[in-house]
């Protein structure tokens, strides 16, 4: 609704004629044909493995890859005669290689001086290189982005970024990328990155052994490079390191297409349609925005008001605090067609005190005996350095007899909640536990988390089988896609400066007073400023504004955003932004965030409280935007994202397609009209229907 006039801002523009786009992608064709992105570049080379002059040629989809065992440099010769640099030599030389021998579909050799054995092989058109170490150590390889034709780097930060390699912002200290290093398992949402190498060519780098692997960024000659580094550790079971290389069509989402195929080929790609079949309550997520409720908005009367305003579907979360939603409140939400679930965490333990979150308090001696122990025997500090992180292995060992997790869950859904939000479990911050009573590797930590999330999903978390729960978690790594129905956080390409913004500690330590309180704290209780107070760049102190503006640019500038996560996982789970970044929290980014949500077919996340002075405005905006979103998401939410295009050279006009043309969305992030679509507006067309237009500025304020 247009707040000023009360009229709908969703209009039906005239149908536009088709035209050739600036960048036409082969994603839809590749997905429909069941091909890897490499296969779109040309037929697979028919020749076999060839060893010559100490080098190894291997046929890959789209050409031939040549690896030099002496340095681990890799080049590729495409079927149309181009030579691409896939990787420079390893940054730390692996040493003199042994004699190279053929082995099945590949070749083997070793580096005796480093205790490394190597295998290069072909699998479904990809080149897979596996390095196995007999000792602890590190290897910095592959070294990527060194080809002179490299034009863009694709990174799965949150939803995803495609960064022009020569972009001044991203090569400068302002972006805080260059000189940084990110853990693939916990800081990237997909274990993959990629480069566009000129027109119609690119390379995808996939690390299925993501635990122990990181990605470091450098700028050389004003151009972005990315180097992977793997830590071989016997104690952490990371002695094997595999990288899968694919030639692609160079599209900005090609690495995600490659990864989606990898997941499908290895039985690791979940299906939202199948999740709905197994638990029909999951279907209520289609068309729903998400919101966390406080005070009266979590009560029956507040819920009925939301429904009366036309909010047809909603996922409604609430804190597992001393005043949770009652059976009557949950029943009212169910009558409205909403899903309701508590916010919980199995990750933290603390001594009970006046300020201790209820979900950090456990019975018996869970705290501190379940604490993750570091190598020096000290506990791994918990949230805000309080208490400790609890070992998933300790819980797994105790659960068959003590039922700590089952008892917690049963108590929180006793009022009839059909959903559950489990903080942290899918976020990827994995731990090695050195406690002799419950030792654990990072891989075991991940497996434990997947197991307990799956028990919530299928209802087997209790010995007396319970109804399955519609499960969500925080910032879900792709490895959790089969267990979850939704996540909050993987939609946000979080910048490191977000945490100083939220905590108020730009130049001070957490134990000191805040040096910038702009974001707000945890009062008032019924509508805490940290979640509800709108914040603009100008609200911060002058000395912090430039950093805040740069952080928001790194997170939300549409010229850099691409739907990598949706390309890989749309149709498997539903992805939203971080819950502390509610739609109302950043008013200057509202239009961009609304357009991105419609373009990516992903829900917006809100916070609601009748004690918040902005609540009426928030509810009106939620109702208007959800009215537009609901039919689009109900039609396409369980389908693949099959195409992404930039329609203008400045990347301000973008288009997505879902399924076999089920939904086509065009968003104009600029200010000028493009092909009859005004700046700041989006058109969405369901198959066989007419375009429907939304201009968020007419809805939000």
Distances, alpha carbon 684 to alpha carbons 10, 491, 691, 693, in Å? 10, 20, 5, 7
Which helix or strand (DSSP H or E) is residue 17 part of? none
- Using the structure block, give the residue that is written with the tokens 């006046």: 354
What are the beta bridge partners of residue 646? Answer: 654
Give long-range contacts, CB 8 A cutoff, 24+ apart: 163-168: 163/224, 163/560, 165/195, 165/223, 165/224, 166/222, 166/223, 166/224, 167/224, 168/222
Distances, alpha carbon 320 to alpha carbons 155, 226, 282, 353, 409, in Å? 35, 42, 21, 16, 10
Distances, alpha carbon 572 to alpha carbons 88, 422, 637, in Å? 35, 18, 9
Rounded CA gap, 42 and 77, in Å? 12
Rounded CA gap, 551 and 557, in Å? 10
What value does the mean pLDDT take over residues 42-52? 64
Rounded CA gap, 217 and 178, in Å? 5
Kindly report the average pLDDT of the chain as a whole number: 92
Confidence band of 651 (pLDDT split at 50, 70, 90): very high
Q: What's residue 320's pLDDT? A: 77
Q: Which residue has the higher pLDDT, 39 or 334?
A: 334
Residue 447, phi then psi, degrees to nearest 5: -65, -40
Which helix or strand (DSSP H or E) is residue 229 part of? strand 223-232
Computed over its alpha carbons, how large is the radius of gyration of the chain? 25
DSSP 31-53: HHHT--GGGGGSPPP----EEET
What value does the mean pLDDT take over residues 261-285? 98
Residue 315, phi then psi, degrees to nearest 5: -95, 120
* Residue range 552-568, pLDDT digits in tens: 999 999 999 999 999 99
Q: What's residue 470's pLDDT? A: 98
Confidence band of 506 (pLDDT split at 50, 70, 90): very high
Q: What's residue 30's pLDDT? A: 39
Q: What's residue 385's pLDDT? A: 87
* Residue range 179-230, pLDDT digits in tens: 999 999 999 999 999 999 988 999 999 999 999 999 999 999 999 999 999 9
Rounded CA gap, 562 and 611, in Å? 37
Confidence band of 13 (pLDDT split at 50, 70, 90): very low
Asked if 361 contacts 352 with a C-beta cutoff of 8 angstroms, the reply is yes
Q: Which residue has the higher pLDDT, 1 or 490?
A: 490
Residue 381, phi then psi, degrees to nearest 5: -55, 145
Q: What is the dihedral of CA 22, 23, 24, 26, to 10 degrees?
A: 180
Q: CB-based contacts of 607: which residues, under 8 Å, 6+ apart?
A: 291, 292, 293, 294, 531, 532, 579, 582, 584, 585, 618
- Using the structure block, give the residue that is written with the tokens 């027109």: 199
* Residue range 68-111, pLDDT digits in tens: 999 999 999 999 999 999 999 999 999 999 999 999 889 999 99
What value does the mean pLDDT take over residues 487-515? 95
* Residue range 317-362, pLDDT digits in tens: 999 777 889 999 999 999 999 999 999 999 999 999 988 999 999 9
Cβ neighbours, 10 Å, residue 160 = 29
Q: CB-based contacts of 370: which residues, under 8 Å, 6+ apart?
A: 349, 362, 390, 391, 394, 395, 398, 438
Give long-range contacts, CB 8 A cutoff, 24+ apart: 233-238: 233/136, 234/135, 234/136, 235/136, 235/432, 235/441, 236/211, 236/212, 236/432, 236/441, 236/442, 236/443, 237/441, 237/442, 237/443, 237/444, 238/209, 238/211, 238/212, 238/442, 238/443
Chain centroid to CA 265: how far?
21
* Residue range 614-639, pLDDT digits in tens: 999 999 999 999 999 999 999 999 99
Alpha helices in 266-403 (DSSP H): 272-278, 300-308, 327-335, 366-369, 392-402
Distances, alpha carbon 194 to alpha carbons 224, 225, 242, 246, in Å? 12, 11, 16, 9
Q: What's residue 20's pLDDT? A: 29
From the list 101, 129, 103, 126, the residue with the least C-alpha distance to 116 is 129
What value does the mean pLDDT take over residues 600-613? 97
Strand segments (E) across 593-680: 605-609, 641-646, 653-658, 663-668
What is the token pair recorded at 515?
Answer: 């040096």
Asked if 121 contacts 104 with a C-beta cutoff of 8 angstroms, the reply is yes
Which helix or strand (DSSP H or E) is residue 530 part of? helix 529-532
- Using the structure block, give the residue that is written with the tokens 């968003």: 667
Rounded CA gap, 594 and 217, in Å? 30
Task: Check pLDDT > 60 for residue 16.
Answer: no
Rounded CA gap, 246 and 208, in Å? 14
Largest CA distance in the chain: 78
Q: What's residue 47's pLDDT? A: 55
Confidence band of 4 (pLDDT split at 50, 70, 90): very low
Using a 10 angstrom Cβ sphere, with 0-12 exposed, 13-18 middle and 19 or more buried, the burial of residue 559 is middle
Sign of CA dihedral 549, 554, 560, 561: negative
């Amino acid at each position: 609704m247009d707040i000023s006039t009360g009229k709908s801002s969703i209009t039906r523009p005239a149908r536009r004629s088709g035209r050739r786009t600036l960048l036409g992608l082969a994603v839809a064709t590749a997905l429909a044909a069941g091909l890897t992105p490499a296969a779109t570049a040309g037929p697979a080379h028919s020749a076999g493995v060839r060893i010559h002059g100490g080098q190894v040629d291997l046929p890959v989809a789209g050409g031939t890859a040549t690896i030099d065992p002496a340095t681990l440099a890799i080049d590729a010769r495409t079927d149309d005669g181009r030579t691409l640099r896939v990787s420079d030599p390893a940054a730390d030389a692996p040493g003199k290689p042994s004699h190279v021998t053929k082995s099945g579909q590949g070749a083997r050799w070793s580096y005796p001086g480093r205790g490394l054995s190597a295998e290069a092989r072909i699998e479904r058109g990809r080149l897979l290189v596996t390095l196995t170490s007999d000792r602890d150590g590190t290897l910095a390889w592959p070294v990527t982005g060194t080809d002179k034709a490299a034009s863009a780097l694709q990174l799965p930060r949150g939803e995803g970024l495609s960064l022009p390699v020569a972009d001044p912002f991203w090569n400068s200290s302002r972006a805080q990328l260059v000189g940084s290093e990110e853990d693939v398992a916990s800081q990237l949402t997909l274990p993959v990155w990629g480069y566009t190498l000129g027109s119609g060519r690119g390379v995808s780098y996939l690390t299925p052994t993501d635990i122990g692997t990181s990605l470091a960024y450098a700028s050389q000659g004003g151009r972005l490079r990315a180097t992977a580094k793997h830590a071989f550790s016997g104690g952490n079971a990371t002695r094997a390191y595999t990288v899968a290389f694919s030639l692609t069509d160079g599209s900005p989402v090609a690495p995600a297409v490659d990864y989606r195929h990898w997941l499908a080929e290895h039985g690791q790609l979940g299906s939202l349609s199948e999740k709905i079949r197994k638990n029909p309550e999951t279907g209520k997520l289609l068309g729903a925005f998400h919101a966390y409720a406080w005070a009266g908005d979590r009560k029956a009367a507040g819920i009925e008001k939301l429904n009366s305003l036309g909010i047809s579907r909603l996922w409604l979360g609430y804190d597992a605090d001393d005043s949770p939603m009652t059976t009557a409140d949950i029943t009212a939400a169910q009558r409205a067609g909403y899903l309701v679930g508590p916010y919980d965490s199995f990750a933290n333990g603390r001594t009970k005190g006046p300020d201790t979150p209820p979900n950090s308090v456990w019975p018996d001696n869970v705290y501190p005996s379940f604490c993750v122990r570091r190598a020096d025997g000290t506990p791994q500090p918990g949230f805000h350095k309080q208490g400790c992180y609890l070992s998933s292995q300790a819980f797994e060992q105790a659960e068959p007899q003590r039922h700590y997790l089952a008892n917690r869950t049963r108590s929180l859904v006793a009022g009839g909640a059909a959903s559950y939000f489990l903080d942290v479990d899918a976020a990827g911050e994995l731990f090695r536990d050195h406690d002799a009573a419950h030792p654990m590797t990072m891989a075991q930590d991940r497996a434990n988390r997947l197991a307990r999330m799956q028990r919530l999903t299928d209802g087997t978390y209790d010995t007396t089988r319970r109804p399955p729960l519609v499960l969500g978690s925080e910032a879900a790594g792709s490895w959790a896609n089969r267990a979850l129905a939704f996540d909050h956080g993987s939609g946000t390409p979080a910048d490191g400066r977000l945490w100083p913004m939220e905590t108020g500690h730009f130049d001070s330590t957490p134990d000191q007073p805040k040096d910038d309180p702009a974001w707000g704290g945890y009062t008032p209780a019924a509508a805490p400023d940290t979640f509800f107070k709108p914040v603009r760049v100008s609200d911060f102190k002058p000395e912090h504004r430039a950093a805040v503006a740069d952080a928001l640019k790194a997170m939300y500038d549409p010229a850099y955003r691409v739907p990598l996560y949706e390309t890989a996982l749309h149709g498997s789970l539903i992805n939203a932004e971080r819950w502390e970044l509610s739609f109302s929290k950043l008013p200057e980014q509202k239009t961009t965030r609304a357009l991105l949500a419609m373009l990516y077919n992903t829900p917006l996340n809100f916070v609601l409280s009748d004690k918040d002075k902005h609540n009426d405005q928030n509810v009106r905006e939620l109702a208007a935007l959800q009215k537009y979103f609901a039919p689009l998401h109900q039609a396409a939410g369980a389908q693949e994202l099959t195409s992404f295009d930039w329609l203008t050279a400045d990347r301000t006009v973008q288009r997505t397609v879902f399924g076999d043309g089920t939904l086509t969305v065009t968003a104009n992030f600029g200010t000028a009209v493009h092909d009859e679509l005004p700046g700041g507006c989006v058109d969405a067309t369901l198959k066989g229907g007419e375009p429907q237009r939304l201009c968020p500025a007419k809805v939000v304020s």
